[in-house]
Amino acid sequence: MIPKDHPRYRSLVARERIARCAQEGIVALEGLAAHGRGEAFDYLIGERTTESAALAERTAAAMLLAARHAVISVNGNTAALAAAEIAALQQASGADVEVNLFHRTEERIERITRHLTAHGVRVLSGTPERIVPLSHDRGLSLPEGIGDADVVLVPLEDGDRCAALRAMGKAVITIDLNPLSRTARTATLTIVDEVTRALPAITAACTTLEPGEGERLIASLDNTYLLRAAIDEMRERLAHALE
């Protein structure tokens, strides 16, 4: 039992969730390394939502609400860490949810779908097709889901699918703690924040955007600025750590 006053409480709880879901077959073992990499970058921003991330989260809400058809793409790590948060965002934004995996088996798809459904998520079902031009299994998508979407939220994504989705003319919102990754640099909008902080912030913004604010945020979106701001915030923390 992790005491709630432990200074690493949130991080340790997340580790336990990832480890448990790996044992249950929801998270691929490779996902453990991916989680650790993200946690290292979270240290660099002080394990908090920065000013630039907060701006990105409100912009993400605006994009989801303005979309013709928004889809949240969920992998094993995202399901393990943030199933309840995905359910809340789906309700607030009206987005569909589709499970999409690199290490794909029908058993994992079913396990993740059951896990999400148990937390109140409505998960799209159907027969996937190789809609996204990739040779690996992340190219498999539902025609009525990601195939039809104009805006796709892809937490904890890998870069080649992000690039392929952009090449298909889709707007891609990603949550990525590494501002240097291919995903972060390729996405339409990158939120440099931890997924269990980012998703509730987007959900809250869906209900608190002022009239006209969403349009202004979308019109002024500059992902290069957001990435530079995140890197500057990391540099500033590193500089203070060495003082």
Residue 40: enclosing H or E segment and its boundaries? helix 30-44
Query: For the residues 36-45, what does the mean pLDDT come to?
Result: 80
Query: What pTM was computed for the model?
Result: 0.89
* Per-residue confidence band for 6, with pLDDT thresholds at 50, 70 and 90: low
Distance CA 14, CA 136 (A): 28
Q: Which among 194, 158, 160 has a CA at the least distance from the CA of 177?
A: 194
CATH code that applies to domain 51-241: 3.40.50.12640
Q: What is the pLDDT of residues 223-235, one digit of tens each?
A: 999 999 999 999 9
Side chain identity at residue 225, one-letter code: Y
* Per-residue confidence band for 147, with pLDDT thresholds at 50, 70 and 90: very high
Q: What CA–CA distances, in Å, run from 91 to 87, 110, 153, 222?
A: 6, 22, 15, 27
